[in-house]
Amino acid sequence: MLGTPPDANDKVAGDDVSVIGIRKRRRVAWAARSAIGASLVLALAAPALAVGDTRYASPTGSGDTCTEVSPCTLKTAINPGSFPGLGSPDDIQDGDTVIVLSEGANYNLGTVRLVVDHAITVRGEPGELRPTLASDVSGFQPAPLLQVTAPGATVEGLRVTVSGPQTEALDIASSAAPSTMRDIYVEGVDHDTSVPLASIEGASTLERAEIVRFHSATETNGETLHTTGDVLVRDSFIRNTGSEGAIRTFGPSTAARFRNLTVASGSTAIFGVGSFGPQQLSIRNSLIDGSTTDVAMTGAGVEASITYSNYNPGQISESGGATVTETPPNQDSTAPGLFPILVDPVSGDFRQRAGSPTIDAGSPDAFTGAFDIDGEPRTMGAAIDIGGDEFSPPPPPTEPSNAFEFGKLKRNKKKGTARLSVSLPGPGEIGLRGKKLQRIGLDSGKAASVGEDGGEVRLKVRPAKGKKGKRLRERLRTEGKAKVKAKVTYVPSGGTANTRAKKLKLVRR
């Protein structure tokens, strides 16, 4: 779900599956703003850290040691040379790792800007909620809140939120290629500026990202994600509630690639512009929905290809010499049976429901990711799915236990009968039968029902009526005792039957 109030921690799911994206909606109420990134625990397996030192940052950190016991501020951990007396640029080296400790608090950065200017890894704390890097200031900021300028850097497992007259929340500069951002949640609320919320340039990768930009009628619109160059963007949800595009891509590029995206906008979902040179964009396994246009390309030398994707072919736009090639198979979202079935697209939950035509409808290539936006395996069915989410089928129902235990036997010596105690694990039916014995429950037509919580049931053991039990009754009368073999059958609700035999002795005196 793309979008929550900054303090939200729980995923919100809904039942509305009739609308994808933001069609005919200009504003989303706070009640409907929910974010996967805010609710998901950063369930990153703790991979081996890069060779080099590990530095630790905390919302309450201080000093310049940056150890786990004595963490420093995030600014000091990433840019130690920015503070006289707190170190020099040489204090952080390529291959180092900065762990952004959660501690249940936000990093309220205000006017502080973070620049990753070495080939380091900046990551959230494995096994914890994503830490939030937040900025809400009244003045215009000249630089992104988080910017990567060094090639080979990795930023992962963070939540970034901005509001007010900010510039970008995050940016991978062209000088940083190839760098990677993954497992990122980015939100712009009342983001009153025409610049994009996030940018990625050069030959860098953005994957498993949730980026949403909320707009109100009084704000200046801007796109959600800006790409330039031969980027790879995959396994992500990109959303814009205003009248600008969710993704705007600029040239020059020879091989920009979008794989397994879910893109929704209040206007154009994906907009390609040739202002800065020719570009080639390939879109594969993507679910695209714009209120007015799904894909719009403009300018000479601008080329886009679409395959294995779900969108409205009537909302494809070419102008100024641009071309869009639609290579089968694609899904026409306006055709019967091909409209995506999603959890709550109006609120930004683009996960698929069972029966969605986008399930198992994609096809991988060399640029397909190994995991979907939730970190689940990219292929869990017969084939890869369309969109950022890979449908996770519910686990097969667990068959209820049919095990049971025999308890005490309580004899009625006056009548030559007995009651056999049986302990059951849950609801169902139980019965008893045996040679020369009176049948009870199940095949007798008088099934003995067992309550919801199971428990103890007492079954009466007695000679059968008529000729069948005559010899047993005579033996009890003449000898005062008789051995019998009872077979007890238990059928748990929704399960299979289990039959066990028990040798008993009846006594009559």
Q: What is the pLDDT of residues 235-285, one digit of tens each?
A: 999 999 888 889 999 888 889 999 999 999 989 999 988 877 788 999 999
> Considering the chain, what is the average pLDDT of its residues?
83
Is 56's pLDDT higher than 50?
Answer: yes
Structure confidence at residue 11 (pLDDT): 30
Q: Are residues 363 and 227 in the same domain?
A: yes
Is 363's pLDDT higher than 70?
Answer: yes
Q: Worst-scoring range by mean pLDDT, 9-23, 74-88, 151-165, 446-460?
A: 9-23
Higher pLDDT, 81 or 39: 81
Is 387's pLDDT higher than 90?
Answer: yes
For the segment 327-352, the average pLDDT, to the nearest whole number, is: 94
Compute how many other C-beta atoms are within 10 angstroms of the C-beta atom of residue 351. 24
- Structure-token pair, residue 386: 């369309």
Structure confidence at residue 119 (pLDDT): 94
Is 466's pLDDT higher than 50?
Answer: yes
For the segment 285-312, the average pLDDT, to the nearest whole number, is: 95
Identify whether 32 is part of a domain. yes
Among the candidates 372, 394, 416, a domain finishes at 394
Is 486's pLDDT higher than 60?
Answer: yes
Is 32's pLDDT higher than 50?
Answer: no
For the segment 210-235, the average pLDDT, to the nearest whole number, is: 84
Q: Are residues 388 and 262 in the same domain?
A: yes
Structure confidence at residue 143 (pLDDT): 81
pLDDT digits (tens, 9 = 90+) for 154-212: 999 999 998 877 778 899 998 888 999 999 999 988 766 678 899 999 999 999 999 99
Identify whether 182 is part of a domain. no
Is 396's pLDDT higher than 50?
Answer: yes
Structure confidence at residue 217 (pLDDT): 60
Per DSSP, 384 falls in state P
Q: Are residues 306 and 380 in the same domain?
A: yes
Per DSSP, 80 falls in state G
Among the candidates 370, 394, 418, a domain finishes at 394
For the segment 445-453, the average pLDDT, to the nearest whole number, is: 61
Identify whether 325 is part of a domain. yes
CATH number reported for the structural domain that contains residue 451 in this entry: 2.60.40.10
Q: Are residues 262 and 379 in the same domain?
A: yes
Domain that holds residue 437: 405-507
Identify whether 253 is part of a domain. yes
Compute how many other C-beta atoms are within 10 angstroms of the C-beta atom of residue 319. 10
Identify whether 413 is part of a domain. yes
Q: Worst-scoring range by mean pLDDT, 86-90, 92-96, 464-468, 488-492?
A: 86-90
Identify whether 381 is part of a domain. yes
For the segment 30-58, the average pLDDT, to the nearest whole number, is: 50
Three-state secondary-structure class, residue 346: helix
Among the candidates 394, 425, 450, a domain finishes at 394
Burial of 496 (0-12, 13-18, 19+ CB in 10 A): exposed
Burial of 277 (0-12, 13-18, 19+ CB in 10 A): middle
d(CA 61, CA 381): 46
Cα dihedral 281, 282, 288, 292 in deg (nearest 10): 40
State the total domains in the chain: 2
Model-level pTM? 0.74
